[in-house]
Chains A and B, each alone.
Chain A
């Protein structure tokens, strides 16, 4: 399904007619009419990219006109960039030969899900800001901490920069003098999956220091965990 009658070839622009002919020569007989437009768009985009590149090369070579060599170079560079092809067979055979020489590794007894080291997994906790909290009262040395809430974020690989940013804020938070209005963040790296869990707790000021030390310890664990 999906193949409907095309517009009469006479009413189509010449480019489209040429494209239809090309498709026919390559043996493609059934296609939706939109395909012609998509192919033409691709052709236009490709040709303009090549010509633009060729113009850059020509100016670089201090030529006033773009000539065939520039075009050839432009095509080749683009080919190596976007239209790469798989490695040649002899290279693959050689790589395969080396790889297949090492014996299969023995399997350790079950100690949990058999997954690669954590840095190769996508199981690191993720962070997400929900909203910023307005300052209630200002005093020197107080840090405004954005309120973070429980959120099950969909499985996306964690962005290290954001995580680091949050971690920095977190550390900063714990070292400030505790006040009743400071909100501490409990970050719980999930060991099971990349469940992204953040829970805010309103800690009472007296307990905050002790809590901050436990939290800090957890944070270090977090570091160790990631460094495995």
Chain B
């Protein structure tokens, strides 16, 4: 530490230190170098000025630093000195704004790979740019000058690792010993540090070609990590060389992004005090570089609270990530005059306005004229207007809604299971139309098959010459355009080049979308049963596709970690939602079509605003890739299911986890709320369908100021109470669930003996 205070170090010692990098006797490489920069006490003053530097200046600065680094590395010490003096170089290389601007600009550069060094450098420095610690004053700035050190060591770490690789084990065990010695209440919180530190240190070693040390480090400490990180650790154990990392975009992103931790102020102070004393600066540097510690005031969290929220690849979500306003209300339904039937015994209404009893649709009754404050404006995003056929559909919908069964804990739905036989594990996607008249299956042999559920067969439209012969004015023209010769129970659609992983019917039953491993999304016409459009944009497998509830828009998500919003009449996407660290496995529209939820293999669920592409909510808590999402019919809640067998319920408005439903033992591929939102059905690879009491789960939300402020929930452990029933199939995993308009539950899966 003495070296830190000393501003004068001769060039020879610098050379010495440089050459001894690998077997560092002092064990404090960064500290020594930190003292190297002669203007260290002086520059702290000018640091303040640099804090407000613009992006361009910061970019120049970073280039200068890179050059300086290069000179130092090649032992051109005197040139380095001269450069430093002439450039008036400040050690404070980054500040929050500057680096962000730098990140945007340099991001483009790094994409072009214009100079691996520069891009590498920019990645590392821009990662530190965001002020790592959100505390108040930085007290040690004047006192020790050690605040300057992290930035310098960051600069250096682009080319050499922080500290001596052989000592990484020592740093880690030192931290481990400390954390094990603190008070119980703090221990749980500080234990969150283990996993990100372990992974970052390991990746650091691998990236800098210290294969042996990396392997030893891994062997020694991988057993200490939480069990739910096991899959990640297995992937890591397979990478011991830098080349292994090259193709793994997820790990590269992980390395350059900051892992977010939520720690209470007391625990944080404890940690900081310990690390800034004595020789623990290395760990401190690493923490500052790779972790973002979101500090909150209040009681430290318990282990169970932490466990419920952690598990994602990026840590938890920062508090302000979940504070944006989300319009989760439903759009007003258009008023349609319903022709009264004789079978209905309702009193006749003169205006013809619908006065039938509808279980839930208050917006239909046009009682509330004023706008729901939580609902988006009607024209917030452009939506297609209703055609006549759509109006007829809506009338049918309302009629069926009157015959709907009210479900509840004492009135469970009947379940009808559609088993796909002879699929030989090739059934990869299923969808059912809203009125339950058609089922489509996507298969691993790249075909899509459509079946009719009702006795009415599937017919294709007549050929053009035949169409010119029919009478266009007749009443049943819609029947006459159909070609009877082509009537069949099912139709097969050929076109894709790889397994079909997602299908979606359009709400008006005219189109079917399918997405596949070949990277394309295809739009099929259900009137001619031919492919109309092939949307190319993802160049990698597309895992999920869904039409919006109002038709016209659809969304797709795939291996390239980006979800896209398309419209059927644009051959390029309208919106791109980038931010996930790993593949997007599931995409779902909100009932009001203004928001999109995506679940990803990085174990987070994000809610995106379609209007401007912003990510409004990040939900963490799952311990495995998320494979199913479902919005509640009232738009307020979101349910998500993952490979860890848990269903998590989220309150969208507040951005909190409401409930955790345990019960399934395998991946949950299907989630659906009943038509009125009283029951949540989940289907899983463990061959069961389980029903959960949604009303009870949403009633139990405890809200107090602490929860609202910090986003910490205390989950009640009543999964068993909420589970209403478990229904096992013989040997068929459930991959799709659908509530008919009358609340009959349909399930679908491929028989897997």
CB of A192 closer than 8 Å to a CB of B: yes
A residues near B107, Cβ cutoff 8 Å: 90-91, 93-94
**Chain A: CB-nearest residue to B538:** A86
**Separation of A191 and B532 alpha carbons in the complex (Å):** 11
Binds B, one of A42-50, A105-113, A138-146, A173-181: A105-113
Q: Which of A94, A99, A114 contacts B569 (CB 8 A)?
A: A114
CA distance A22 to B614 in the complex (A): 42
Chain A 123-159: CB-based contact to B (< 8 A → 1; otherwise 0): 1000000000000000000000000000010111100
Verify B570–A105 contact, CB threshold 8 A: yes
Residue A195 CB within 8 A of the other chain: yes
Which chain A residues lie closer than 8 Å to B532 at the CB level?
A: 113, 115, 121-123, 193-194
Instruction: Decide yes or no whether B194 CB sits under 8 A from chain A.
Output: no
Number of A-B contacts (CB under 8 A): 174
Bits for A1-39, please: 1 = Cβ < 8 Å to B, else 0.
Answer: 110000000000000000000000111000000000000
Do A192 and B384 contact each other (CB < 8 Å), given the known contacts A94-B107, A99-B575? Answer: no
**Is the CB of B552 closer than 8 A to any CB of chain A?**
yes
Give the number of residues in B that approach A within 8 Å (Cβ atoms). Answer: 73
Contact with A along B595-618 (1 / 0, CB 8 A): 000000000000000111110000
- Beta-carbon nearest neighbor of B559 in chain A: A86
Contact B752 A192 (CB under 8 A): no
A190 to B552, CA, bound (A): 23
A88 touches B111 (CB 8 A): yes
B142 at the interface (CB under 8 A from A): no
Q: Quick check: A105 and B567 within 8 Å, CB to CB?
A: yes
Do A110 and B385 touch (CB < 8 A)?
yes
Kindly identify which residue among B248, B465, B573 contacts A99, using a CB–CB cutoff of 8 Å. B573
**A143 and B495 alpha carbons, distance in the complex (Å):** 36
Q: Contact: B552 with A120, CB < 8 Å? A: no
Given contacts A83-B247, A116-B571, is CB(A192)–CB(B559) below 8 Å?
no
Is B2 an interface residue, CB under 8 A from the partner?
no
Nearest 9 interchain pairs by C-beta: A100-B613, A193-B528, A90-B107, A155-B530, A91-B111, A86-B560, A92-B578, A120-B571, A96-B576
- Residues of the A chain whose Cβ atoms lie less than 8 Å from the Cβ of B753: 1
Proximity string of chain B (375-397) to chain A, C-beta cutoff 8 Å, 1 when within and 0 when not: 00000011111010000000000
Main secondary structure on chain A at its contact with chain B? loop
CA–CA, A91 to B234, complex, Å? Answer: 28
Sample of 6 more A-B contacts, CB < 8 Å, known A104-B574, A114-B569:
A90-B103, A107-B385, A155-B531, A157-B534, A190-B463, A195-B530
11 residue pairs bridging A and B, Cβ less than 8 Å apart: A1-B753, A27-B234, A86-B539, A88-B111, A89-B581, A92-B560, A105-B574, A115-B533, A188-B463, A192-B467, A194-B528
B387, B560, B569: the one contacting A115 at CB < 8 Å is B569
A154 neighbours in B (Cβ, 8 Å): 494, 530
A113 to B381, CA, bound (A): 20
Within 8 A of B (CB), among A58-109: 79, 83-97, 99-100, 104-107, 109
Minimum distance in angstroms from A180 CB to a CB of chain B = 24
**In the complex, what distance in Å separates the CA atom of A88 from the CA atom of B246?**
11
Cβ of A56 under 8 Å from chain B: no
Please indicate the chain A residues that have their CB under 8 angstroms from the CB of B578 in the complex.
89, 92-93, 95-96
Quick check: A195 and B385 within 8 Å, CB to CB? no
Q: State the interface size on chain A (CB cutoff 8 A).
A: 53
Contact between B385 and A116, CB atoms less than 8 A apart: no
A121 and B533 within 8 A (CB)? yes
Report A95 CB to chain B, min CB distance, Å: 6
Task: Tell me which of A117, A194, A195 has the highest count of chain B C-beta atoms within 10 A of its own C-beta.
Answer: A195
Known: A90-B107, A115-B568, A154-B494. A193 touches B576 (CB 8 A): no
Taken together as a complex, chains A and B put the C-alpha atoms of A128 and B409 apart, in Å, by: 60
B-side contacts of A91, CB under 8 Å: 107-108, 110-111
Give the CA-CA distance A150 to B612 in the complex, in Å: 50
Please name all residues of chain A whose beta carbon is closer than 8 Å to the beta carbon of B425 when the two chains form the complex.
2
Q: How far is the CA of A215 from the CA of B690 in the complex (A)?
A: 63
- Residues from chain A with a CB closer than 8 A to the CB of B248 are 85
Q: How far is the CA of A194 from the CA of B464 in the complex (A)?
A: 11
Query: Can you name the residue of chain A whose Cβ is closest to the Cβ of B611?
Result: A104
Are B612 and A100 neighbours in the complex by a CB distance under 8 Å?
yes
Which residue of chain B has the shortest Cβ distance to A186 in the bound complex? B465
- Collect the chain B residues with CB atoms within 8 Å of residue A190's CB: 463-464
A182 at the interface (CB under 8 A from B): no
Q: Whose C-beta in chain B lies nearest to the C-beta of A190?
A: B464
Q: Is the CB of B249 within 8 A of A89?
A: yes
A90 vs chain B, min Cβ distance (A): 3
Output the nearest chain B residue to A150 by Cβ-Cβ distance. B463
By the criterion CB–CB under 8 Å, are B534 and A122 in contact? Answer: yes
Q: Is the CB of A155 within 8 A of B494?
A: yes
**A199 CB-CB contact with B under 8 Å:** yes
B252 contacts the other chain (Cβ, under 8 Å)?
Answer: yes
B540 within 8 A of A: yes
Q: A197 on the interface (CB 8 Å rule)?
A: yes
Nearest-Cβ distance from residue A33 to partner chain B, whole angstroms:
16
Task: Name the residue in A91, A104, A156 with the highest tally of chain B Cβ atoms < 10 Å from its Cβ.
Answer: A104
Q: Which residues from B are CB-within-8-Å of A26? A: 234, 238
The reply to whether the CB of B562 lies closer than 8 angstroms to some CB of chain A is: yes
Residues of chain A contacted by B461 (CB below 8 angstroms) = 192-193, 195
B83-99 residues with Cβ-Cβ distance < 8 A to A are none
Tell me if B60 counts as interface (CB < 8 A to partner A): no
Q: Return the contact of A96 from the options B234, B525, B581, B613 (Cβ within 8 A).
A: B613
